[in-house]
Amino acid sequence: MLMTEARRYSAVAMIFHWAIAVLVIWNWRLAENAEHASRAEATAIFADHKAIGITILVLTLGRLVWRLTHKWPPLPSNYAGWERVLARVTHVVFYVLLIGLPLGGWLANSFNGREIEYFGLFTIPALPVGENEGLGETIYDAHKLGGQIIIYLVALHILGALKHTFIDKDGGIFRMLPFGRVGKAR
């Protein structure tokens, strides 16, 4: 039996997914570019990195609210037990990182007495935590590690989607796209 449209995510879920995916990869590239830039260039790059991080936070919270209030498609019946567990764990870790990384970045900035400029449109004030540069640097280090972890998780996620689409031939990637054939479950 072919999977029906009910096996696809909703258009809103797809928009959240792809917008967040693009922003996460873009933000990772910004951080990587800042590492090799002059101090002045790095400051400008990190200003964009911070604003995009806040955007990721807002979109992720929106996506989480959407997910909790709307039905999402079940995992295909052909998934092995380990694939089901890995899919669920991966999604939970994604949400933790997509919320925790921006909050951690904002907290680290706050400990260093910095506000966040949101693309020159408005300023997001520092959290009321007082200044503690040492703790701010420790949180920055954890933030950087979390950024590396999320990129590895993105790669794992992409490999899983490709495996399901081209090896299992169950159209896995098309569950999150408005086109293509969500194939037969084996």
Domain span at 161: 5-176
Q: Which of 170, 161, 7 is nearest to 91 (CA)?
A: 161
pLDDT tens for each residue of 123-148: 999 999 999 999 999 999 999 999 99
pTM: 0.92
If we measure between CA atoms, which residue out of 174, 177, 150 comes closest to residue 164? 174
Instruction: Count up the domains in the chain and report the number.
Output: 1
Classify residue 185: in a domain, yes or no: no
What backbone phi and psi angles, to 5 degrees, belong to 41?
A: -65, -40
CATH number for the domain harbouring residue 67: 1.20.950
Model confidence pLDDT, tens digit, residues 47-104: 999 999 999 999 999 999 999 999 988 888 888 999 999 999 999 999 999 999 999 9
Angle of helix 133-162 relative to helix 81-111, nearest 10 degrees, comes to 150
